[in-house]
A and B are shown apart, each in its own frame.
Chain A
C-alpha cells in the first residue's frame, strides 16, 4: 500500500510539474523578434527608445510632460531653434530682424518646406499657429510667453510680429515645442491633437497607447533626412527594467532619471551618459512668513547648505552645482554672491543670531513622492546639514497632486523642488519674480529690485548688456537668498553600443535621433 501510495503521489506531482515545464519550455523557445531589424532590409534601420512614460498629449500647445514635448519636437519644427550651447539658430525661419526700437520682429520663413501630408508650409500657417497659442481659449501652456505680441502679419514668406514693448526673450519662446508650427488647415478643421502633422524630421506612423509609438523618417526633411528609417518609443514604467533591457540589448536608447538605477547599467551592451539639464533642484524658502521673513535667517540657511555634499550623496558626485541661472549661455559662479562661504556653519550661526533666532527654528518642508524620485533624498541631506545650525526641517512627503496643490498656494515654509529651466534666464525667473506674474505665490518672495532687474534685462537685446543685467540678477538672488539653489538636474541616457551619433542636450531634446545611426 505504501508503495502504491507513493507512486501515485509521484505520478500526480510529475504530471503537474511536467505541465508547467512544458509551458515554460514552449515559451522559452527562441523567437527572435524581427521587429528589431530593419524591415526593408535596406540601410537605415529601427531605433528603439525606452522611457518610463508615454506621450500623453498630441497637441504641442498643451503638452507639458517631457515625453510629449520630446516626441512632438521630432514631429514638429519651430521657427527658431537652439544649438547645442543654447544659442538661437534658424529653424523654419531662415533669419529674423528685430526693429531698432525693439517693437517688431520680422522673420523670413524657409521656402519649399512641406508638412507631412504634403501641404506647403507658409507664413499663413505660422500666423494661424501663433494666434491660436495667443488665444486664451486654447489653454496653451506657452501662451503667456507671447503676451507682448499685439499683431501677427503674414506676407509671402515674411512673418511680422508687432510688440507692445521690446521683448528679448520672445525669440527663445519661439524655440519651445509649444510654439511649434501647425498647418492652418489642421487648426481650421480642429484636427490638431488628433494626428500630428508637422514638418519635422519624423512622421507620425503608429501609436498604441501605453505600449509603443512609431515614427517614420521624413525623407523630405529640409535639414536632411534622418539616417534611421524608424524611431520606436517603448513604454517601460519601471526604470530598473529599462536598465535591464539595456543590458539585454533590447533598446538602443534608454532614458533614466534615477541616479541609482543609472548606476546599474553596466556591461558591454550599453554606456550611460549623464547630461545636466536646464532644470534645477532648489530649496525654496517662503520668505513671506515666520523667521524666513528675515533676510539673515535665509542667508544662514544658504550658508549652512553644502551643495556639493548633496550632489555627492544623491547623484553620486555627478550633478553640477548651479546658481539661479542654469543656461550655459550665461555662466556665473554659483556661490560667489552668497553672504558667506557655503558650508560655513559658524558664519551661518552668527547670521541666525543676528536674525534673532540663535537657537534656530523649525520649517515645514514639503517634498514630492513619485516621479521626482530624488526629492526626499535631497531633503534628508539638507535636514542633516541644517541641523548643525539648529534649523529643523520637518519633512512632509507628499504625493504629486498634494504637493502641487500646496506648492501653488504657497502652503509651506520650505519646499524641495525641481523647477524647469530655459536657455533664456528671463523665461526662467520672470514668472516667479516679476510683479503680478503667474508663479509669484509659490516664489514666496518679491522685491522691487528683482522686478526692475528682470524688466530691464528683457528690454535689451544686446548680448553684453543682457549678460551684465542677468549677472546682477544672480547676485541679487544669491545675496537675498529667497531660495537655496542646489544643482542642475541630471538626465541619464543609456546608449546602446549600436547607436552612433546620438548626443544628449541640456534642453532634453532628442533632435540628435534625426542624425543618429544604428548599425547591427
Chain B
C-alpha cells in the first residue's frame, strides 16, 4: 500500500481495515462472554442464586435484560454503540459511557506519564549501552534492563505501596482519582508511583530496542560516509544514527503504549486507581456484558489508532516508506 497514493488514501485504507478488525473483536468478545459458565445473576448472587425460585429467577432475568436472544442482544448493543450509546451496566445500572468517561482519563494519563518517564530514560540508557558495546557500562545497563524486565509488575507495585506506607507513612489519597485540572499536585501524587512502576519494564524494553538499533545503524555505510565527510560526531549521532534508529524505537514505544491503554490492571488494583483495567476486570468477574463489550471495543479502537499513528509517523521519519 505504501508507495501508491498519498497519505489520505493510506489512512482511508487503513481505517476500512480497522472497521473490519473491530467488528471481529466485538463478535469474539460477545461470544466468549456468553460462553463463560454462569450469568450476571449467578455472578452477583453467588451461591444465593440457588435460593431463587423459578419465578424470581425469571423476574431477575427480565430485569437484567437477559431474556432476549443472543442475536437480538448483540445487534441491540452494536446498534447503540454506532449511535454513541454504549449500554448500561447490569451491575450498577449506570450508563457504560459514564463508567468509561470516569475510567479512561486515569488510564490514559497513567500510560502517558509512564511513557514520558520511560522513553527518555530508555533511549538514554540504550545509547549509553551502545556507545561501548561489551564494556562495563553496557553490561551494567543490560543487567539493569534484564532486571527491569524480569521483575513482575505486581511485586514491584506491592513493594512500592508497602514501603511508602510503612517507611514513609504515605499512601496518596487512595481509591479515588483527582483529575489534573482539579489539582496538579494531588493528581501527580496519585499517579507518579504507579507510573514509575510501569515505567521500569517499559524503559527496559525501550533501552534494549534502542541499543540494538543504535548498534546496527552505527555500523552502516551512511554513517561512515557522514563521518568521512567530516560531519561533527554530535551530528552523526543525533542526526544520523539516532534518527535512523527512531523507527524501531517508535514501533516499540507505540506497541507498548497500546498495551498500556488496554488497562494497567495490576497497577490499578494495587494502587487502587479506578482506571479502565479495573473496570474491565470487574466487568468480567461480574459478567457485566455491556461494560466488557464496550470497554474492549474502545480499547481495541485505541490500540488500532495508536498503531495507525505510529505508521503515519514512519512516513514522516523515514522517507523510504512514503
Contacts and interface: CB of A to CB of B under 8 A. Distances in A.
Interface stretch (A133-141, A298-306, A345-353, A444-452): A133-141
A235 B47 contact: no
B192 A234 contact: no
Contacts of B287: 401
A144 B121 contact: no
B48 interface: yes
A4 B233 contact: yes
B47 A419 contact: yes
A104 interface: no
Contacts of A212: 175-176
Contact of B47 (A8, A9, A442): A442
A27 B187 CA distance: 8
B257 interface: no
Interface in B111-158: 113, 116-117, 120-121, 123-125, 127-128, 131, 158
B177 A241 contact: no
Interface string B274-288: 100011001001110
Contacts of B51: 141, 144, 431, 438-439
A9 B92 contact: no
B46 A400 contact: yes
Given A141-B48, A248-B164, A420-B48, A26 B185 contact: yes
A235 B162 contact: no
Interface in B173-195: 173-177, 183-186, 188-189, 191-192
A211 B47 contact: no
B286 A438 contact: no
B93 A193 contact: yes
Contact of B171 (A1, A13, A248, A419): A248
A219 interface: no
Contact of B121 (A5, A16, A50, A407): A16
Interface residues of A, number: 76
B162 A17 contact: no
A244 B274 contact: no
A15 to B, nearest CB: 7
Contacts of A244: 161-162, 164-166, 171
Closest 6 A-B residue pairs measured CB to CB?
Answer: A16-B120, A401-B38, A234-B175, A27-B188, A27-B192, A244-B165
Interface of B: 36-38, 42-53, 55-57, 59-60, 63, 91-94, 98-99, 102-103, 113, 116-117, 120-121, 123-125, 127-128, 131, 158, 161-162, 164-166, 168-171, 173-177, 183-186, 188-189, 191-192, 196, 233-234, 237, 269-272, 274, 278-279, 282, 285-287
23 contacts: A4-B234, A8-B233, A8-B234, A13-B124, A13-B128, A17-B121, A20-B120, A23-B188, A24-B192, A27-B189, A29-B189, A31-B183, A33-B186, A58-B93, A136-B53, A143-B56, A193-B93, A209-B99, A236-B175, A244-B171, A245-B165, A250-B171, A408-B49
